[in-house]
Amino acid sequence: MDSEINSLMIFTTFFKVSALTIGGGYAMVPVLIRHLEKKGWVNQKEFYNLLAKAQSIPGPIAFNLSIMIGKKVGGFRGSVAGAIGVIIPPFFTIMLIGAFLTRFSNSVLIKGFLKGAFGAILGLIGGVLYKMIQTKKWNYLEILIMIIGALVLIFESSYTVLLFVIIVTVVYVGDKKWKS
Amino acid sequence: MEIIALFWMFFKIGFLAFGGGWSIVGIIANNVIGNGWLSSGEFTQVVSVSQLTPGPVAVNIATYVGFKICGVLGASASTLGILLPPLIIIFIINVAGKFIKLDKERLDAALRVGTSSLIIVTLYTLIGSRHGDVTTFLIAAFTFLLFVKTRIDPVYIILGAAIAGTLFSVL
């Protein structure tokens, strides 16, 4: 890693991405990878590995991701800088203009605006899924488990955490056997 | 005392926030409306505002609900409440990681498989929600291609899509 990366740079990067991205934490994921790649802080494979970790624990993905990427590029101080950078913009924006926006939240224009943004977020999540799959070597059993796992999760949403742990454990234990 | 109640409610919800913020909007709705803090109409407005402002939707909802009920202190208590669970869990994992040695590459591979399943479920849930129509799916397909095939900053893609959506709603 570049030794010139300091906590302030990590803070400003996450602050900027957080302040500019509307549409929720999931929308921030594709924005982050573009910005981090451009800076050369992480490559695609590292990023999607960290994303998998960030998604494996409870909590907002963008927040978890900021801690993990911050830690990777700047140690403990980096993780604190990343987390604070992600949280400050929304925290103050909500309090400053939330009441103002509420007055318009039922307008046709705002509904259209949100609908368009929603379409983009669908496409971006699809894109993240595509990259998540593309940047890893898969064997047939992993693909099978991923698809069965998704189907089970769709039909039985009350045990998400348990089912997720089962999927990960099966692949972790199984991968050794399938490869040997 | 409402501040403590807010903190405690979002703290508990924070542990359930698994697989992305969208999955817990429903849980927050049940709690906030169930406690009589907001009406369901007010909550719908809170969700709209949380999508219009930057940041993770679940955190924005927590901040805004707290702010509506108890001002700046309420906003701080709710935001802290929803963010503390991941911090606690990351801390526990870091400590546990010193004692339990796992094969890192296999763990990465396994988490990728599980996470891919989760993202498929998220997509399925979002597509199935009432927001979607032909325009939305056209924008989604176009966005997907732009993200995968070009290096355009997705900030502009989202903005462009939102403006397109606004124009379609007027026409």
Given A67, A102, A145, which is nearest B49 (Cβ)?
Answer: A102
Look up residue B136 and give its two tokens.
Answer: 């939305």
Min distance B39 CA to chain A CA atoms (Å)? 14
Q: What is the mean pLDDT of residues A15-31?
A: 89
Check residue B21 and give its pLDDT: 58
- Chain-centroid distance, C-alpha B49: 13
Asked whether residue B24 is assigned to any structural domain, the reply reads yes
State ipTM: 0.88
Given B19, B120, B162, which is nearest A116 (Cβ)?
Answer: B162
CB B142 within 8 A of CB A5: no
Min distance B52 CA to chain A CA atoms (Å)? 6
**Count of pairs with CB atoms under 8 A, one residue in A, one in B:** 349
Asked whether residue B69 is assigned to any structural domain, the reply reads yes
Asked whether residue B89 is assigned to any structural domain, the reply reads yes
Q: CA-CA distance, A175 to A167, in Å (whole number)?
A: 12
Check residue B130 and give its pLDDT: 65
User: Chain A residues with CB inside 8 Å of B38's CB?
Assistant: none
User: Chain B residues with CB inside 8 Å of A105's CB?
Assistant: 44-45, 48-49, 52
Work out how many domains chain B is built from and give that number. 1
Check residue B22 and give its pLDDT: 63
Q: Which one of A17, A122, A148 makes the best mutation probe of the B interface by having the most chain B beta carbons within 10 Å?
A: A122
Least confident of A27-41, A76-90, A154-168, B54-68: A154-168
Q: What is the mean pLDDT of residues B135-160?
A: 93
- For residue B151, is pLDDT > 70? yes
Given A90, A149, A160, which is nearest B63 (Cβ)?
Answer: A90
Q: What is the mean pLDDT of residues B158-169?
A: 92
Closest-CA residue to B113 (of A33, A153, A52): A52
Domain that holds residue B8: 1-100
> Residue A139: pLDDT band by 50, 70, 90 thresholds?
confident
Min distance B154 CA to chain A CA atoms (Å)? 5
Q: Convert A78-108 to b/e letters by CB count within 10 Å (16 or more is b).
A: bbbbbbbbbbbbbbebbbeebeebbeebeee
Asked whether residue B60 is assigned to any structural domain, the reply reads yes
Domain-by-domain residue ranges, chain A? Answer: 7-134, 137-180
Look up residue A102 and give its two tokens.
Answer: 């509420």
CA atoms within a 13 Å half-sphere pointing along the CA-CB vector of A14: 32
Min distance A68 CA to chain B CA atoms (Å)? 9
pLDDT tens per residue, range B77-130:
999 999 999 999 999 998 998 888 888 888 999 999 999 999 998 888 888 876
Check residue B19 and give its pLDDT: 64
Asked whether residue B141 is assigned to any structural domain, the reply reads no
Q: Is the Cβ pair B67, A61 closer than 8 Å?
A: no
Per the prediction, chain A carries an average pLDDT of 89
Check residue B12 and give its pLDDT: 92
Look up residue B88 and give its two tokens.
Answer: 């606690």
Q: CA-CA distance, A171 to A25, in Å (whole number)?
A: 27
